[in-house]
A = this chain, B = another copy of it.
Amino acid sequence: MAVTLQQIADAAGVSRRTVDRALKDQGRVRPEVAEKIKKLAEEMGYRPNQAGRALALAKNPIKIGVITQSSETPFMQEVLVGVHDARRRVRRNGADVEICRIDGVNARQVIACMEKLKESGVRGMALVPAEDEGIKLEIDRLSEEDHIPVVTFNSDVSNSRRICFVGQNNKKAGQTAAGLMADCLKSYEQIGIITGSAENPALNSRVKGFQETLSELRPDLMINQVYYIADDELQAEKITVELLNEFPQTKGIFVSAPAVLGVCRALRKKGVEKEIIVIANDVLGENIKCLEEGSINYLIGQEAYFQGYEGVMTLYRYLLEDRKPKKELEYTDIIIKNRYNI
């Protein structure tokens, strides 16, 4: 049987409560006693029983707040599935999760939600932020003044006091795509890039990673100008047609934008979907269909579900076990899918 608090208390000749305090550095214990207790716990290999802890905490339950942006997108829907699964799981342990869904990107709204969640007494927050000074300030204030730990997921706020970030390394995602493209294309072929808003740092990193790595691996290839689109399938289709008209020799396309379906439609209409290697991002419903029927060759995934699930669970573990994540940047795996391993 595992070592319990009581056993340490017996061994040290003090009460359970004293051991508890000593182990948590809560003071109010004579330093030499605390020292002795800690040594004893170490020697006896004490590991707190999580079930016991969770149960005791059910008196005033741990509550976690979650804020998501762009909640209407298919990608974030998938993230939210992960969040809800995590909620179900922590609920079965007597904790709870309160979720604020924000549609679109809106820093002001995020800050308002943070305030609201704080008022409602959450002990920690997991949120999808944006590189915004106001959000950064609020994160720092929660962490420092209110002692409410914050986890960012999916997107990050660099240099803020969040305990960690769970999400993709976008540059590496772009590089991974470049590696695939380099293997698939023959000498001196042409490449097109389609991406979303030029202001989106995530998309930019991907594209940059792709360009840099590809020109290093295959200096012979010709990487044409970057085409920008909004998240709109119709526009994506139009732009893709433009690209194909402008550069009819294109043999590879990297799609960093969300509107993958529009691109596929254009390729099919032009009847070139079999001749062009297409690598796109996000392993999601419509995209998967394109992959299955062959108009896309590879999808690069970022574990949307896991981001949501792990964002919440990281925080829960931190709150329950006082266990800091090992790394400040918890990068999710970069997934490569072709038709056969979906």
Residues of A at the B interface (CB closer than 8 Å) are 1-2, 47-52, 54-55, 58, 61, 91-94, 172-173, 175-176, 178-180, 183-184, 186, 213, 277, 297, 333-341
Contacts and interface: CB of A to CB of B under 8 A. Distances in A.
22 contacts: A1-B58, A2-B91, A47-B91, A47-B92, A49-B55, A49-B58, A49-B92, A50-B51, A51-B52, A173-B341, A176-B338, A176-B341, A178-B340, A179-B338, A179-B339, A183-B183, A183-B277, A213-B340, A333-B341, A335-B335, A335-B336, A336-B341
A2 B51 contact: no
Query: A92, A213, A333 — which one has the most chain B CB atoms within 10 A of its CB?
Result: A92
A177 to B, nearest CB: 8
A274 to B, nearest CB: 11
Contacts of A52: 51, 55
- Please give the count of copies of this chain that the complex contains: 2
A217 B245 CA distance: 29
Contact of A183 (B49, B51, B297, B337): B297
Contacts of A47: 91-92
Contacts of A51: 50-52, 54-55, 58, 93-94
Nearest to A213: B340
A337 B337 CA distance: 10
A66 to B, nearest CB: 18
Contacts of A94: 2, 49, 51
A61 to B, nearest CB: 7
Given A333-B341, A338-B176, A186 B184 contact: no
**Which among A184, A334, A341 has the greatest number of chain B C-beta atoms within 10 A?**
A341
A197 to B, nearest CB: 25
